[in-house]
Chain A
Amino acid sequence: MSDSSLLPARGKSIQASIFLTIFSISILAVFALLTGSFADSVMRTFEIKRMIGAVLTLLYLGIIFFLILKTGRVSKWRNIFFISYAICFVISFLGTLFEQRGHMELLDSDALYGEAPMCHIVVPMLLIPMILGKGIIFPTSYASVPTMLIAVIIILLVFGRGFCSWVCFYGGEETLFSRLPGKKIWNIRKPHPVVKAFPFGMLFFIVVTSFLTLTPVYCIWFCPFKTITEFFEINSTLRIFQTFLFAMLWIVLVVVLPILSKKRIQCGLFCPMGAFFSLGNKISPFIVKIDTSKCTKCLQCISVCPTFSLSAKTIEKGRTEITCTKCGDCFDICPAGAISYGMKGSSITIHNHPFIKEGRKPGFFRRMAADLWEPGTIFMFGIFLLGSVLAFNFFNNTIVRILRLMGL
């Protein structure tokens, strides 16, 4: 039997936190130098602002990851990372668009000549026409499709819906609005099962209609995030209607309802990609576990879960629903410390570790080993690194823009 009182309630030891932070940030630094647009610009020009941006980005990401590990407050520090990532994505994406095009519209000619940037939400719509019709039904460059395809498939299998709280550059927008200070005006305790199943229905609908029409139906009609990225040029009555529709979806689902309910309404009850990644939760080895022997049935975790992924029933069974984004919000609130990351087929968690012997204070290395060799550390190392790799250029680009604005 292990003695959980000998482990910090949530946080990891200083030695494990420092080791893992340095390890992760070194990998990130090598990766940034070898790939992507940062590497590209370094190869062509040594711009000092970009180097400053890179150093500040690495420092910022390092501090965030260290605090996640050391304090164990996954929810707080992950949310700060996730929100800042979404903000930098918007600044960087729109900044580049305005510089290159002067506006946010994707002209019909850009669409026809495959210049729309590839986005992960497109992947489910591509699959059937790709397999059956040998055609890619999204107006993007050919090279970006296999890259995104393999990335999404691997993320789906390894992390499941963990993507939706650590990697997606849209999810942070909703997290931002749901976390704005203010009272919870609309307390959604338990959405109707039909409402909860809506994202899966939406997924089915867009996959089928995209196949039947050979066009990316979700992108054309519904995607709320076009409001703050780019959208088809508004040159007809149909386009006015479509623009109104997706802008309203953004305002209502991403801004207003999250402010009122403190929940991620779009991610929890609308996004088909969230449903797609939820299917990955069935395969992913990483899970969120509830220790039923510790749980006091206070149900605070249900009220805090942003995507309605907990219910009294699932808590009783010691697990979350399939839609869990592995965000860690419930860990922080649970007064009994009953919730933690776990792995399918293993009883090891941060609170229940075979390296920590009953009644004995673990030594420096034993504690470090126990902190590093547990599901939460393995999961967070992988997914934070992945999120950071994708976020790196957005952070860097934003810092460069700010430095330029300051006239430096």
Chain B
Amino acid sequence: MMKHLSLILGTVLILIVVPLAIPGGYLLFDYLYSTGLRINANYTGGRVLGEITDPEGDVLLQIPDSFHYKSISNSLDSTCFSVRLVRFPFPSGQGIENHLNLVAEFNGKFSDPLDLHNGFGCNVIHFYIDSPYVKSLKTNSEKAAAITFSSGSWDYQVIVDGFHDKARIYNNTGNLIRESTVYVREEKVPAPGLEKEKWQVKKTSVIATIPLSFSGDVLKGEWHYYALTGIADITSLSFLFAPDKTANVYDAINYKKSSDAEGILTPLVIKDGKMQ
């Protein structure tokens, strides 16, 4: 009898224990999730330092704001603007530089009539960064000469459009000082009757990356970030393509808009790594 016992054990293992892996996977999922276990932030697009969501209205500024463009507002009106930090704590050969992600999300898919590199042809996104790090690098005489604003000052303007592979980073005198990587990610959902490769795009995220080696320590001081989304208007080719030369973001965008922009374009304020 004894020699049959281990065969019985083996049979039980295979017929009962192995199939338990299926419900066990779901139970383990729930359990691990409840313990707070997550994919490391480095691998989820970074740790969110701050975000503004706007699923319905128009908190995040979109231009042009005339009613002509409202019908295509889905792909013009950003639903979320977030700033995320991707920082690998130790050298590992990962090959991904520590960086800041500036993320603008949109409902649905961008139109891409010209089949451009980034997968969109009409949209343009401007991010403005007010950086205490840049200010800290200024000499005393530069600081004395600088015009200060109660709100809306900026040091970097990051322009993302479908016509350039990279994000272009300008300073506030209009000089291109750096190019950085841009990602466009489409979140797809199943569409009835279609193959996986033809799934519908539910959300498009445009991500401009800023290497920390360039930006300085973003967890130190009070940083302001702005996101402005719009359309590359073919009737006025320079519109939204050219960098701004004025050091106040509201002045900069006022010439792109008919109305006063202050109060509509909300800054994302992050002080010492915490959203204010």
Contacts and interface: CB of A to CB of B under 8 A. Distances in A.
A, B in one complex = yes
B18 A135 contact: no
Interface in B17-70: 17-18, 20-22, 24-26, 28-29, 32-33, 35-46
A109 B84 CA distance: 13
Contacts of A136: 37-40, 43
Contacts of B196: 96, 100
Interface string A144-178: 01110111001000100000000000000000000
Given A44-B192, A112-B42, A135-B37, A375 B10 contact: yes
A215 interface: yes
Contact of A239 (B2, B6, B95, B207): B95
A346 B5 contact: yes
A382 to B, nearest CB: 4
Given A146-B29, A378-B11, A134 B96 contact: no
A44 B43 CA distance: 31
Contact of B17 (A154, A344, A381): A154
B44 A348 contact: no
A48 B129 CA distance: 55
B13 A348 contact: no
B93 interface: yes
A158 B13 contact: yes
Contacts of A100: 196-197
B113 interface: no
Contacts of B195: 45
B94 A137 contact: no
B38 A134 contact: yes
A158 B89 CA distance: 37
Nearest to A133: B40
A343 B7 contact: yes
Interface residues of B, number: 57
Interface residues of A, number: 63
A215 B92 contact: yes
Contacts of B17: 154, 158
A113 B6 contact: no
B29 A113 contact: no
A220 B197 contact: no
B92 A220 contact: yes
A111 B24 CA distance: 27
Contact of B95 (A154, A242, A286, A345): A242
A307 B227 CA distance: 58
Contacts of A137: 40, 43
A18 B101 CA distance: 60
24 contacts: A44-B190, A45-B193, A107-B183, A108-B96, A111-B43, A112-B96, A113-B185, A135-B41, A136-B37, A138-B43, A139-B43, A142-B33, A146-B32, A150-B28, A213-B94, A214-B92, A220-B92, A232-B95, A236-B95, A242-B93, A343-B6, A345-B5, A374-B7, A382-B14
Given A107-B183, A135-B38, 15 more contacts: A96-B196, A100-B197, A112-B44, A113-B43, A113-B185, A136-B37, A140-B39, A149-B28, A154-B24, A214-B89, A217-B92, A217-B93, A285-B10, A343-B7, A345-B3
Interface of B: 2-7, 9-11, 13-14, 17-18, 20-22, 24-26, 28-29, 32-33, 35-46, 86, 88-96, 101, 181, 183, 185, 190, 192-197, 207
